[in-house]
Every structure is written in C-alpha cells, then in structure tokens.
Homo-oligomer: A and B are copies of this chain.
Amino acid sequence: MRFTVLHKGDSGRARLGEIITPHGRFETPVFMPVGTQGSVKAVSPQDLDGAGVKILLANTYHLYLRPGHKVIERLGGLHRFMGWRGSILTDSGGFQVYSLARLRTITEEGVTFQSHLDGSKHFLGPLEAVAIQEALGADIMMAFDECAPYPADYGYVRDSVKRTSSWARKCLEAKTNEAQALFGIVQGGVYLNLRERSATELVAMNFDGYALGGLSVGEDGQTRQQVIRETMKFLPEEKPVYLMGVGKPQDILDAVNHGVDMFDCVLPTRNARNGTLFTSHGQMVIKNAGYADDDRPIDENCRCFTCSQFSRAYLRHLFMAKELLAYRLNTIHNIHFFTNFMDEIRQAMREDRLAWYYADFLERQGSECPVS
C-alpha cells in the first residue's frame, strides 16, 4: 500500500491524499461502506461501483464465524468470493468480540468468547486476527486491539492500552504478506495522556497507517473532537489516519479538518433500510405521507441510479409495501450521497475552500427538507 499526500488544505490539518493498493487507487479523505458479512447489505458489487465506492470494510469476526476464513481462502480470497474488484479493509475482529460475542475472557494472549450465532467457543488473539485477515486477502488489515467500554476508569483503560500495544507488536511480527498493509489502532478512551501513550508506542512500531479506535462508543461529541485533535498531534503526517465507526456527515467534516483520511460507518446503509435518506438539504423520512404523490427524485441534485430512475412516490410505496427493492434503491442512494459528499470535500480541499464548504454544508443541512 502506498499513501501520498497530494495537497494540504487551507484549514486545520486537512489534507488531500491518495492510497494505492493491489486493488486500485483512490483519493482520501475516503468513506468506506460496511460489508459486514461479505456483502454491503442490500446491494451488489456492481451497485457499489456505480455509486463510486473504491474501498469497503468487511468484518473479520463475522467472516471468521461464517462462512469461515478457510473457506474464503480456498475460494480465492474475499475479493473473488464476493465479486468485488476494489479495495477491502478488514477490521481485526476485536470490536465485535467485545460488542457481540458472549462470555468473553481476556488474557494477555487474546480473547476466548462464544459465537453470537450458535454459542460455539472460539479464541481470537493477535496471531489469529492476522492469520484470518491474511486468509481473507484484505488490502488493509487492522491490528488486534482492545476497545475499552465507555465509560471505563483510568486503570482499566491504561491496562487495555498496554495490552493493545503488546498485541500490535505481535500482529506486526505475525504478518507474512508484504502486499497487505497493517494499521495500528490507537486506544486510550477519553484520557488524553493514554491516547498519547498509545499513539507514541504504535508509531514507534512503524505501521502502514493508524486508526483511532474506541470512539463513537457513547462519549459526547465535544470530547470526541478533543480526543481526535489531541491524538493527531502524535501521528506522523506521512501515514494515513482512519477514524473507525464515524459517521455522521458533520462528524466526518470535523475529523477531515483534524487531518483524518479514512472513515467507515453503517449509517448510510442502516438508515437506508429504515427509510431515512440523506439529501443535500438534510435527511428525508421516505414514509412521510407528503411523498405519496411526489414525482420528484429523492434529491434533485443527485445523480445516483435511484434518483435517475425512481420517484419519491414510488420509493415511498415500495417502503410502505415492504418490497425488497426499497432497501436496495435506498441503499444505493445513501451510499452515493456519502461518496459524493467525500468527492465534494476533496474538491473543496483542492480549491482551498474547505472552510467555505463546511459552512455551506451546515447551512444546507439545516434548511428545510424539501417535502412537497
């Protein structure tokens, strides 16, 4: 993987960059839709391509449990298995082990847990996480970390930072494939000196990139902003920074301003399936009766497949009638909204007007949603 800063913005640490992986080139800041089980819910790889997606995230925990990384490896890796030609980042499995699995026991070697699917017993540690991600063939792998809960007391978070650093070193040592990049994950909760310690220790190990983990887990927005801003000071400018699980358009803009390059979140896909659509004027709840007779596309400024073919009235009907097509069309639109949003951010940086874009975006989002 190669990361290059193409242009530094006029605002904060924001920068325009590019990442080249064995599966192509894309510019940063970039948003990665979430393909949990080897499928971005409700859409096909062709739909993702059409919506401008260049890289997606897949979950190691889910694919390890089902269908199993060995199966995927035998079938030629995750790209071939799911028919996706773009880049793939896999998480380490850690987050799901803490949030989904049952009966966890954490030791210095890793975590013993029970599958949320069938209660079967499993062990995941740094060595296993790297082996699984290598079998999946991810372009970018994540080191196995411990994501402390929120709130958590200082002592607990300090120990988890220590463990995360130790596991990170083991991941680097376990890695066998040069073609796959490995990112370290900075932990430390909301304790700035622990964030500093975590970042400094990981940077000393020289990862291909760094992620900010353990955020968007319940802390307030201002605290999150502060943690991001302060942590960025300890991360090298020549490596990409990935803010895990974020998020909302405004949070992405704030983080871009702090120098973050990569994002993932289930927001566009999950909201799509709930009938909440992103538009240049704010969110639209498609089931509202006002759309029953509305022949316009979701967003008249949008060029996605859904907006080019279907009306709000039809999308509302599909959603009310629980037709499966609703989930696909809504998801295509929401993903396109995010890729287009990132396009606009990069274009604004290229033209040194990110601050103006930011202000304009907020104003538009606050404006009335165009209900007929």
- Give chain A's interface residues, CB within 8 Å of chain B: 37-39, 41-46, 66-67, 71, 74-76, 81-83, 292-293, 295, 309-311, 313-314, 316-318, 320-321, 323-325, 327-329
Contact = CB atoms under 8 A, between A and B. Distances in A.
Contact of A41 (B41, B71, B310, B323): B323
B44 A313 contact: no
Contact of A313 (B39, B71, B321, B327): B71
Given A66-B317, A310-B83, A324-B324, A74 B38 contact: no
A76 B314 CA distance: 12
Contacts of A317: 37-38, 66-67, 81
- Taking the full assembly, how many copies of this chain does it contain? 2
Given A38-B318, A75-B313, A83-B314, 13 more contacts: A37-B321, A38-B321, A39-B321, A41-B325, A44-B329, A45-B309, A66-B317, A66-B320, A66-B321, A71-B293, A81-B311, A324-B324, A328-B328
A67 B310 CA distance: 15
A129 to B, nearest CB: 21
A291 to B, nearest CB: 10
Contacts of A328: 44, 324, 328
A42 B44 CA distance: 12
A13 B46 CA distance: 44
Contacts of A325: 39, 41-44
Nearest to A318: B39
A321 B82 CA distance: 13
Given A71-B293, A309-B83, A324 B323 contact: no
A292 B71 contact: yes
B81 A313 contact: yes
A311 B71 CA distance: 13
A335 to B, nearest CB: 14
Given A310-B83, A314-B83, A317-B66, A324 B41 contact: yes
Contacts of A71: 292-293, 313
Contacts of A83: 309-310, 314
Contacts of A67: 292, 313, 316-317, 320
Nearest to A329: B44
Given A314-B81, A328-B44, A329-B44, A323 B39 contact: yes
Contacts of A311: 75, 81
Contacts of A43: 325
A268 to B, nearest CB: 15
A43 to B, nearest CB: 7
A38 B316 CA distance: 12
